[in-house]
Chain A
Amino acid sequence: MTSVQTLPITSEYDIITARQAARELARQIGFNTVDQVRIATAVSELTRNVVLYAGSGKVDIEAVAEEERQGIVITVSDRGPGIADIELALRDGYSTSNGLGAGLSGAKRLMDTFDIESRAGRGTTIRIGKWKHWK
């Protein structure tokens, strides 16, 4: 299982498509229901941010295997305005759109790994991952 599924994010409809695809792959990998929902919810948060703040982008969904363990890695990227202060954006309750400010911090807590790369004016790439039988 090394194939990567790439989906475009151009509208709010793609949020649903992306999170359902992630959930389905998570199910195939053998994640339990709660993990499937954690993963789908994190994807929902990150892809909605793309629609909201960057307008469009893409998501790569990938099954990964390493020694004895299996997992899922999802990369959400856009060429939008970028995030000037990542630490601030990750703070619970911080929002520039009157949201709850729970998307980035929530996605981070739901996953095992969370890496963010963003440059003002260049865009944002967030990679999240989860291993099976962790937590």
Chain B
Amino acid sequence: MNNRVPILKVDNFWLVTIEETLHDQSVIEFKEDLLHNITRDAGAGLVIDISALEVVDSFVTRVLMEISRLAGLLGLPFVLTGINPAVAITLTEMGLDLQGMATALNLQKGLDMLKGRARGEPK
């Protein structure tokens, strides 16, 4: 596999920053790589930052939903961060809501959210 998206584990949290526009095959490779990692060793949470994505279409949305669903099954808290406002408006108009996914402004805020949750603080 030649996944171009770095998947990091820091303090038991999976952190992913999608840094560039990805063609479909890279999106699939990224997803498989990530799912492989989190099923072997769930950790305390997962943050995926998509602030670099200028376009989020139905294909990418479906992949994010799949990741979210699997994280849910594994009991792995997941936060999606950095959705740019134009992307959010576009998704809403297309009728694609990110089905109850937790979101935060940026990677740091997403991580803070998960750390708070790991300590049992209210959301």
Contacts and interface: CB of A to CB of B under 8 A. Distances in A.
A74 interface: no
Interface in A31-62: 33-34, 36-38, 40-41, 44-45, 48
B91 to A, nearest CB: 8
B58 to A, nearest CB: 4
A99 B62 CA distance: 7
Interface of B is mostly: helix
Interface of A is mostly: helix
B61 interface: yes
Chain A contact patch, size range? 20 to 34
Contact of B94 (A13, A19, A40, A41): A41
Nearest to B85: A34
A103 B58 contact: yes
Interface of B: 21, 23-25, 54-59, 61-62, 65, 84-87, 89-90, 93-96
